Structure 1
């Protein structure tokens, strides 16, 4: 078994493909991953402010474990703030799609159930999941695969139910302000009570407004730490009360210390695979 212990090790393990043209759906990004090793890979996942769909295209089954001890084999959907998630497999090859939660609500058909969970794509898409996976496996290139995946996403998005404009606005404000927002102010801006915003946002995004704002801020902090900035610098820059506040948030989301996040293998390929955070989209 190869347990990935450093960002350098992880980046060197993969051939990574990205779409050659912009996508049709704002709030969606895709990347293809093919392992360069036949060893069993064991990798911890860092939570991210997007719903992640991983379509398994390899010869060996991809196993994804969650913090509760549950395991999903094959193609999976990882919720916004799912923590303690680990991926394991041999000859790993997969198409990974990151969806803004605003888009994910329509594309996947559920939100509240996905906040901090890992579920099988088959459970959400039924036969459409198997058909799409078969088409992706048969495709001759990554560009063909991206086109097939995009067509499926566009089709389901058109048929799905959009989030309410007020919920989309609140999410957009959280992203724009990197999580530094007051829920009461946002509720007043959209003309809702705090209770109503809390209920609608939780049902359609999958997290409470407070938890969602914390996740956006954590993601910004994690990438600043991975870029080499000290915990003290990041805490002051992003607006944490102090360094211990940053430590608690990082520990709560990632299960490791700020030092551990700074060298997390999962973040090592972000500049290659994900040109820009798709959750920044307001769509």
Structure 2
């Protein structure tokens, strides 16, 4: 698999992009691991196409996977695709549907309607990854400028959750922004699509998953990631992915993560 990253000039805060190319004739079947971002995968292949499970059936083409996308399996694909990861704060503006997307998989043209098809056509009009990244950055920045932003208090709470790798308390976040716990809970959920507690769980899991993929033993990972013990880690991993920590450690999706996203922006 070939991986291409954008130059600094094509990067936007809260948005990460990577281009993928599969040159083998073999088909690919990779299960996504739950991740604290909304993932947009634009299919640029000439043949085969991305095939994924959604709404009880098999579908093809560009796809948007909401937070907690453990049920998505991308298979039968060969060719090229552009993958974009959006912080929930950014996704709320860019997609305008973060709440509805949580835990779901949807076709890109269902989320962006005609704009999705036009976006895909522009990307297909060139084979240069540099141009594709520039096109994507332009489209995303325009959508950001045209839509209302998330409350500063919600942004602060999300950023603190990420900075502390999920080891935060909702009461503490509410005190920091001067809101009641109930108000923070309500605004956070309505704007980002998940509760502050769920966000902390997902960010903490993401840190633990990468430690597991790096070869750290589960007991050590549990201690480093803020879990009570190894059993707590096991329960959280099973709840979020449906598989064990040992299986997460060898997940193909994580195997290329540090190559595609060397500096992850959640």
Give matches, 1:207-226, under 5 Å.
207-226=194-213
Contact between 2:213 and 2:254, CA under 8 Å: does it hold in 1? yes
Is 1:54 aligned to 2:37, yes or no? no
1:40-99 deviation digits (Å, cap 9, x = unpaired): 221111111111000011122212225x63444211111111222100123232100011
Is 1:159 aligned to 2:146, yes or no? yes
Give matches, 1:193-272, under 5 Å.
193-272=180-259
Q: Of residues 63, 71, 89 in structure 1, which corresponds to 2:51?
A: 63
Tell me: CA distance 1:43–1:24, structure 2 relative to 1, closer, same or farther (3 Å).
closer
Give the number of equivalent residue pairs.
265
C-alpha distance in 1, partners of 2:230/2:3? 35
Q: Structure 2: any 5+ residue segments left out of the alignment?
A: none
Q: Secondary structure at the match of 1:201?
A: helix
Contact between 1:235 and 1:241, CA under 8 Å: does it hold in 2? yes
Contact between 2:31 and 2:70, CA under 8 Å: does it hold in 1? no
Give matches, 1:72-151, under 5 Å.
72-151=59-138
Q: Secondary structure at the match of 1:267?
A: helix
RMSD between aligned residues: 1.3
Tell me: CA distance 1:126–1:186, structure 2 relative to 1, closer, same or farther (3 Å).
same
Q: Secondary structure at the match of 2:42?
A: strand
Q: Structure with the greater relative contact order (CA < 8 A, sep ≥ 6): 1 or 2?
A: 1
Contact between 2:2 and 2:21, CA under 8 Å: does it hold in 1? yes
Contact between 2:30 and 2:73, CA under 8 Å: does it hold in 1? yes
Contact between 1:109 and 1:161, CA under 8 Å: does it hold in 2? no
C-alpha distance in 2, partners of 1:79/1:18? 22
Q: Secondary structure at the match of 2:67?
A: coil
1:124-166 deviation digits (Å, cap 9, x = unpaired): 2111111111111111311111111111101111111210000
Query: Which residue of structure 2 aligns with residue 9 of structure 1?
Result: none
C-alpha distance in 2, partners of 1:227/1:22? 30
Contact between 2:50 and 2:60, CA under 8 Å: does it hold in 1? yes
Q: Structure 1: any 5+ residue segments left out of the alignment?
A: 1-13
C-alpha distance in 1, partners of 2:106/2:148? 20
Contact between 1:72 and 1:119, CA under 8 Å: does it hold in 2? no
Length-normalised TM-score, structure 2: 0.96
C-alpha distance in 2, partners of 1:34/1:254? 26
Q: Of residues 232, 245, 260 in structure 2, which corresponds to 1:273?
A: 260
Query: Which residue of structure 2 aligns with residue 15 of structure 1?
Result: 2
Query: Which residue of structure 2 aligns with residue 43 of structure 1?
Result: 30
Q: Secondary structure at the match of 1:163?
A: coil
C-alpha distance in 1, partners of 2:158/2:19? 27
